[in-house]
Each structure stands twice: as C-alpha cells, then as structure tokens.
Amino acid sequence: MDGGDADSGVRCHALETITSTHRHSPDVYGGWGPHLGHLLRSANGELWYVDDTGSDVNVNAGLAYYKRTGTTWASAGSSAFPGTVQQNTGSLMSGNTIFSYGIDVANDRVVECTLDTTQPASAACATLSFDTGVGSNYVGATISKNGTRVVWWTNATMAASFSYIYNYGAGWNGPQTSPLPGYADFSYVFGRLAPDDSRLELHGAAAHALGGASAGYDALYASTALGMPVSNWLLVAANALAMETWLDPLGGTHFVTYETTSPPLYSYKPPGGPLMTEQILTEPGLASARVVETAATAFLIMGFADGRVLYKGVELSKVSGAAIDWNRIPDRTISVPPGLGAITLFPESAMYQTASLEMAVAIDGYGNEGTVWFVSCE
C-alpha cells in the first residue's frame, strides 16, 4: 500500500465566518448536508462560496453567493429558483462562471442558475427542457478540467432509475437513464470525470426501499463511458453511506464510506481491476470525509461527530497504483469553534471546479447549523 506523511508545510488555522444564514431546520442539521454548500475558486483566483438557504426541509429557498476579499467574506448576490427545488443543489465553477443545478420537483425539470463572477449582478436562473420524470430529486454535478459538465438525478419510485445529462460546452446531451438494481433511488452521489472526459465515476447511497434514510442504504459504485447509460453497479459497502470518491492521477478510484454499525471504511479500485478489500479507518465517529487534491498532495479531511476536524496528506508522487495506508499518516488538527457536534465539510474540490486547487475547506457543525466558517490554510 502507498503511505507516508506528506508534510508539505500546509497548516490550517484561522476561522472566518462566511454566512450565518446557511440552510437548516430540525431535519437539516450539521453533519448531514455536504451537498448544501460549495466552495469554489475562479480562474482569476477569487474564492467564492455558494450556499443553499431556507429553513424548510421540503423547500430550498434559493442560492446565496459569498466572495472572499483578504480575510473577509461578503455577500455578492443571490438567486431565486423558478419552480420548487426541494432537496439540494450542485454548484460548479467553470473559468469565472458559477453554474448551479437543482431539480424542480413540481414540474420535473432541471433548474440552471448562472453567475458571472466578474459581473455579480448577472445572477439568473432558467429551466432546462429535459423532463426529469416522476419522483425525480437528489441532484448532483461535477466538472472536468476541460470544462465538461455533468448533472445527475434519481427517480425515487417503485421502478427507480438514475439519469444524467452532459455538456462539453456547446449544449446539453442526454438524458442517459439507467434502471437501478433492486433499489429505490441512488442519492447523495459523489461523481468524478476522467481527465480526458472518457468516463464518469459515481459513488452514492442506494436506498433499500422508498423512504430513504428510514429504509437504510447501501453504498454503490458505478463507472460508465460518458454518453452511455450506467450498467455496472458494484456494492462498495452494505448498510452504508457514501462520503467521498476520488480519482487519482493514475486512474485509480478511492472511496470513503460510513457504516452505521461499524467504523468508517476506505476502499480502492485500480484501473480495470476489482474493488480492494475495505480497510477500517482507525479514527472513530467519522461524520464527513472529503479529499482535496493540490498540485503535489492529496489531503483527506475528516469531520467527526464530536466536533473535531483532522486532515492528513499523501504526496501524489507516492501514489503508485495501490491503496493508500491512511492510518500510517499522522493526523493534523484544525481548531474549530467549541461546542459543535457532527461536522459537515465543504472542500475546495476538483469535483466542482476547473481552476487549480489549494488546500481549503468550509465547515458547518451540529449545534450552530446556521453558520458556515472558512478554514484558512497556508
């Protein structure tokens, strides 16, 4: 296994308040919603945060945009959705433009909101022409370095399916729709595109029956050539939720999953090979885990149920086509406000942007869900 400390000198310390109006309710709480906010860097180096707002678990009120100047975050506009977005949105930064996507559950359509970050007054939303079908929800999105965008959703019905559309830059293609193998939906999905846009990697939660969390989930993985329906579903972990997937520079796929009855798991799948045996991450009480890849290092950031945030890194030059022994790499601690419970992480991720990445993350925590903080790393 690959391992070793990548002590690149990165240190994470100061906390800056981004917003105090982050979406939450008694049913939308810290540790639950890594899909409710997106930390994005523009091509000209500006750092933005796109936030879902509202206090109703059944109604996503809209988008709020925030921009960092120096060490201060300020409101930079907002968007209201046409139709009723219920669950969440997926936001992407392509160059200097933010694209955000939601599912209008009343009219079965994808809502696309855009903001040219060089012209903050340009924020606008429109409805795409695709019929997403009955019971559609749980939107997600990813983008490649080439600027290719993919947006997906699931249909939570007795004949459940998973669909995606894709855009190389000249217009939308699809949908490509696939039946689900004995599950009621495929939700809370983390997706990655191969650098050459040849394939789409997906890792998400498949509900055992209608009812979502009350029915239980399995963590599934699927890979498909972009432009083709999904046909190869692979069980990563039973009775588990997906936390992250990362595609390394050699084409290997890395997974973090959370099982409700045991410690979190890390798994690895080499290019064209079988899923490797899951390894238990030794840290107990994991609530959220994400990967940030900079030019030299892949950082695993972990938020815990007791309010801790840790990170560790592996040098990309040491990734050699094997699983990473994360347990051998020392943890570093990020100081967070006292009194928080389960932590949600909103990382600066290659899943969401075309610009070069830096080690950066925003956090939200149980007990103060309305506030999102930015963690400064240097």
Q: Could you tell me if residue 313 is inside a domain?
A: yes
Average predicted confidence (pLDDT) for the chain: 91
Q: Nearest to residue 155, comparing CAs of 108, 192, 117, 200?
A: 108
Residue 319 CA to residue 321 CA, distance in Å, equals: 6
Q: Are 162 and 152 spatial neighbours (Cβ–Cβ below 8 Å)?
A: yes
* Assigned domain for 34 exists: yes
Region of 238 on the Ramachandran plot (φ > 0 left; ψ -120 to 50 alpha; else beta): beta
Report the Cα 374 to chain-centroid distance in Å: 17
6 is a domain residue:
no
Summarised one tens digit per residue, pLDDT across range 227-277 is 999 988 999 999 999 999 999 999 999 999 987 667 789 999 998 899 987
| Residue 278 located in a structural domain | yes
Maximum pairwise Cα distance, the chain: 52
Q: State how many domains the chain has.
A: 1
pLDDT score at 73: 97
E strand intervals along 134-195: 136-143, 149-155, 161-167, 172-179, 186-193
On whether residue 7 sits in a domain, the answer given is: no
Residue 199 resides in a domain? yes
Per-residue confidence band for 29, with pLDDT thresholds at 50, 70 and 90: low
Q: Cα(25)–Cα(32) distance, rounded to whole angstroms?
A: 11
Q: 2: pLDDT confidence band, cut at 50, 70 and 90? A: low
CA 90 to chain centroid, in Å, comes to: 8
Amino acid 28: pLDDT: 66
- Domain for residue 4, yes or no? no
Q: What is the residue range of 329's domain?
A: 12-377
Q: How confident is the model at residue 31 (pLDDT cuts 50, 70, 90)?
A: low
Chain centroid to Cα 94, Å, comes to 16
Structure confidence by residue, pLDDT tens digits, 150-181: 999 999 988 899 999 999 999 999 999 999 98
What's the 3-state SS for 273-308? Answer: CCCCCCEECCCCCEEEEEEEECCCEEEEEEEECCCC
Q: Tell whether pTM > 0.85.
A: yes
Q: How far apart are CA 82 and CA 62, in angstroms?
A: 9
Give the end-to-end CA distance of the chain in Å, rounded to a whole number. Answer: 29
Share of the chain above pLDDT 90, in %: 74
Which residues on adjacent β-strands are paired with residue 72? 69
For residue 1, being part of any structural domain is answered with: no
Q: Are 120 and 104 a contacting pair, CB within 8 Å?
A: no
Nearest to 258 by CA among 234, 278, 233, 232: 278
CATH of the domain at 252: 2.120.10.10
